[in-house]
């Protein structure tokens, strides 16, 4: 199960880091519950997870923005309880008026095994949508794991209070001839006249003979702006780019 968690985590170098200039910090804090079902060679495993995460985007210098995120999760597969702690730091800059580019580094500790990630990201802003692309490299020395991944996500603002997104990612493990795809959709609805919102997400990972289906639900508190303002300030990240799949979920 530890190796499964690390392989799944390696898919998740897809954290969007949008950032427009702002006067002060913008971010959010959330809690979530999720469930994952994995099947491999006729065998299956089921696990539940509780998590808390926080993200904040802050102006750095000129058009540059720093985004910092962290996530703490507790996994329970019925036989073992594992705790995962992860974090990322992003540095991005605005090119023109609607394109953000930059890079990030991250680390995740899962059941005493550590994965490190670094990557490049770009984001295009439209009037009612945000398009994200990421390329990343993840390594975990404890299990001799080296992974390259490429992902994209599209978020649409149906209204100011409703955000929908869909994304896909591809990964390959060096020297193992193992490839995989992950598909996901998500939604966030901001409760009227409040800083609170409810979230939900679904994802499916297909890694050779391994299939993983996951869903999550959660509650989020935002500060510094609403959904799209939070997105464009660089604070629409998950708790960590190396722990969540398709950062906008």
Give 164-212 pLDDT, tens digit per residue: 999 999 998 877 778 899 999 999 999 998 999 999 999 999 988 899 9
How high does pLDDT run on average in the chain?
A: 81
Which residues touch 196 (CB under 8 Å, ≥6 apart)?
190, 219, 220, 221, 222
Strands 196-207 and 113-126, bridge-based pairing: unpaired
In the chain, where are the structural domains located?
2-232
Q: How many whole angstroms separate alpha carbon 182 and alpha carbon 176?
A: 18
Q: Which fold has domain 2-232?
A: Lipocalin (2.40.128)
Residues of the chain with pLDDT under 50: 1-22, 238-249
Please work out, in degrees rounded to the nearest 5, the angle formed at the alpha carbon of residue 103 by the alpha carbons of 53 and 155. Answer: 60
Q: Is the pTM of this model over 0.85?
A: no
């Amino acid at each position: 199960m530890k190796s499964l968690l690390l392989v799944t985590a390696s898919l998740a170098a897809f954290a969007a880091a949008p950032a427009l200039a702002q006067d002060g910090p913008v971010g959010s804090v959330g809690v979530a519950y999720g469930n994952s079902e994995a099947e491999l060679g006729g065998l299956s495993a089921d696990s539940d997870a509780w998590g808390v995460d926080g993200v904040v985007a802050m102006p750095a210098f000129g058009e540059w923005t720093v985004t910092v995120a962290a996530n703490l999760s507790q996994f329970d597969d019925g036989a073992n309880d594992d705790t995962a702690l992860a974090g990322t730091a992003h540095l991005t800059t605005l090119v023109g008026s609607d394109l953000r580019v930059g890079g990030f580094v991250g680390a995740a500790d899962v059941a005493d095994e550590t994965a490190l990630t670094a990557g490049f990201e770009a984001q295009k802003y439209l009037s009612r949508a945000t398009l994200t692309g990421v390329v990343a490299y993840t390594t975990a020395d404890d299990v001799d794991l080296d992974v390259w991944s490429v992902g994209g996500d599209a978020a649409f603002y149906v209204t100011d209070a409703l955000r929908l997104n869909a994304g896909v990612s591809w990964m390959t493990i060096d020297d193992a001839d193992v490839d995989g795809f992950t598909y996901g959709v998500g939604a966030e609805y901001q409760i009227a006249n409040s800083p609170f919102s409810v979230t939900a997400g679904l994802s499916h990972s297909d890694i050779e003979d391994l299939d993983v289906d996951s869903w999550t639900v959660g509650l989020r508190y935002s500060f510094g702006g609403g959904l799209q303002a939070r997105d464009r300030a660089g604070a629409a990240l998950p708790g960590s780019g190396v722990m969540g799949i398709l950062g906008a979920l």
